[in-house]
Chains A and B, each alone.
Chain A
Amino acid sequence: MSFFRNLFAKGPSSAQLAKQRLQVVLVQDHLSMPPGTMEAIKAEIAEVISRHLEIAPEGVEVAVERRGHNDELVANIPVRRNYGRTRDGAPIPLERPQATQPVGRARPTLASGRAAGRRRH
């Protein structure tokens, strides 16, 4: 009757849960990091990248994942699209009059990006 059980099953089976939990815990076992290491790595990567690119620090994800035989550090770092700005970060003067916008290295919010009226690629 496993066919019907599988058909109406909600969520992962206990075997799938076991595998997922093991994959997470084994990576931790392999690294034997003191607590907080991942957070420190995440903050420092974000800091280094943001010296060169404008990133969304709240979206940074760093994790060690099992890939085949190896454990790999995988980082996802969302980069802000630099709409309406020059390479130096200075706002490009637009013809339309604008609401007060942050100047210099301050980060634009998503809303202000949209207000600039540019189409997303």
Chain B
Amino acid sequence: MGRCITVTSGKGGVGKTTTTANLGMALAMNGKNVCLIDADIGLRNLDIVLGLENRIVYDIVDVIEGNCRVKQALIRDKHFPNLSLIPAAQTRDKDAVTPEQMAELCRKLTKDFDFVVIDSPAGIEQGFRNAIAGADEVIVVTTPEVSAVRDADRIIGLVEAAELPPPRLILNRLNPALVQRGEMMTTEDVQDILAIDLVGIVPEDATIVMASNRGEPAALSDTSKAGKAYREIGLRLLGEDVPIVIPVANEGFLNRMLNAFRPRQRVAS
């Protein structure tokens, strides 16, 4: 039996789809059989981030309504044949799927795959409920901004109310230079507020935009800092003990010297 992981956030635009694509890639790079599901029905996006938008024939609603078999809807990744995608339907709305149907689909898929990673839509309504219906665990993505953290807190409450295990946190788009200037909440601040385990920190990184422009997730790149962060999160999901390092800014000589005398930020886990 594989594990079904839902990536969610509450707020839109914090990096759920990017995270799903990169985690899927990172797990596949480690030889796992991975199926990604785009549960954002009506706003299909995971396909384009993965560069698979031209290969779609059937979608998740076709699978659930029985218009095709599950295997027919699976789109194989260009880089890793052990990575597949079930795309969202673009011309339907979220009510086309019920939580029970979603849970049933997850049950079927976890028989064949080591990991099923679901990209949740933003919000706390039907689409979110569908996305967590079949989940064994939930990963909450947030950025260090008040609106995203507030919504993450709400989502954490809803996940716990759904009697799922406490979700784990990915802190996305941390800007180390801003943190150092005191103009962005630190990792510790966000952890204090949300009080859930951290599974990784992804620094703000222009390579993420470049990667989605090309349709090749940053996890494939050796030079992308964000990609490296995602690969490490993948390893943590596999149970490897990879320490979480808080990203620091590349600064001039003087600041580096001054930083040496400052107390280090700690991550409580």
Find out whether the CB atom of B255 lies under 8 angstroms from the CB atom of A3.
yes
> Is A79 in contact with chain B by the CB < 8 A criterion?
no
A-B contact count (CB 8 A): 50
Find out whether the CB atom of B193 lies under 8 angstroms from the CB atom of A15.
no
Return B181 CB to nearest CB of chain A, in Å: 5
Return B186 CB to nearest CB of chain A, in Å: 7
Find out whether the CB atom of A15 lies under 8 angstroms from the CB atom of B146.
no
Which of B97-105, B120-128, B150-158, B202-210 interfaces with chain A?
Answer: B150-158
Return B35 CB to nearest CB of chain A, in Å: 34
Q: Chain A residues near B258 (CB, 8 Å)?
A: 3
Specify which of A3, A5, A18, A29 is in contact with B146 (CB 8 Å cutoff): A18
Find out whether the CB atom of B195 lies under 8 angstroms from the CB atom of A19.
no
Return A101 CB to nearest CB of chain B, in Å: 51
Q: Chain A residues near B181 (CB, 8 Å)?
A: 2, 5, 13
Specify which of B154, B180, B192, B255 is in contact with A19 (CB 8 Å cutoff): B192
| Interface residues on chain B, number (Cβ under 8 Å) | 21
Contact with B along A13-25 (1 / 0, CB 8 A): 1111011011101
Q: Chain B residues near A68 (CB, 8 Å)?
A: 195
Q: Chain A residues near B149 (CB, 8 Å)?
A: 22
Return A71 CB to nearest CB of chain B, in Å: 11
Q: Chain B residues near A6 (CB, 8 Å)?
A: 182
Specify which of B157, B180, B182, B195 is in contact with A69 (CB 8 Å cutoff): B195
> Is B179 in contact with chain A by the CB < 8 A criterion?
yes
Find out whether the CB atom of A26 lies under 8 angstroms from the CB atom of B150.
yes
Find out whether the CB atom of B193 lies under 8 angstroms from the CB atom of A2.
no
Bound together, the chains give a CA A52 to CA B90 distance in angstroms of 67
Return B26 CB to nearest CB of chain A, in Å: 30
Residue of B nearest to A4 (CB): B258
- Which residues from 128 to 166 on chain B have a C-beta closer than 8 Å to any C-beta of chain A? 145-146, 149-150, 153-154, 157
> Is A9 in contact with chain B by the CB < 8 A criterion?
yes
- Which residues from 1 to 45 on chain A have a C-beta closer than 8 Å to any C-beta of chain B? 1-3, 5-6, 9, 13-16, 18-19, 21-23, 25-26, 29-30
Residue of A nearest to B251 (CB): A2
Find out whether the CB atom of B185 lies under 8 angstroms from the CB atom of A19.
yes
Find out whether the CB atom of B193 lies under 8 angstroms from the CB atom of A14.
no
Residue of B nearest to A21 (CB): B146
Q: Chain B residues near A14 (CB, 8 Å)?
A: 182-184
Return B47 CB to nearest CB of chain A, in Å: 34
Specify which of B150, B179, B180 is in contact with A22 (CB 8 Å cutoff): B150
Known contacts A1-B255, A69-B195; A29/B183 CB under 8 A: no
Across the A-B interface, give the 5 residue pairs with the lowest CB-CB distance, nearest first. Answer: A13-B182, A19-B189, A3-B258, A2-B181, A15-B185
Please give the residue numbers on chain B whose beta carbons come within 8 Å of chain A beta carbons, in ascending order. 145-146, 149-150, 153-154, 157, 179-186, 189, 192-193, 195, 255, 258
**27 pairs, CB–CB < 8 Å, chain A vs chain B:** A2-B180, A2-B182, A3-B258, A5-B182, A6-B182, A9-B182, A13-B183, A14-B182, A14-B183, A14-B184, A15-B184, A15-B186, A16-B182, A18-B185, A18-B189, A19-B189, A19-B192, A19-B193, A22-B146, A22-B149, A26-B153, A26-B193, A29-B150, A29-B154, A30-B157, A66-B193, A69-B195
Known: A13-B181, A68-B195. 4 other contacts (CB 8 A): A1-B255, A6-B182, A15-B184, A18-B145
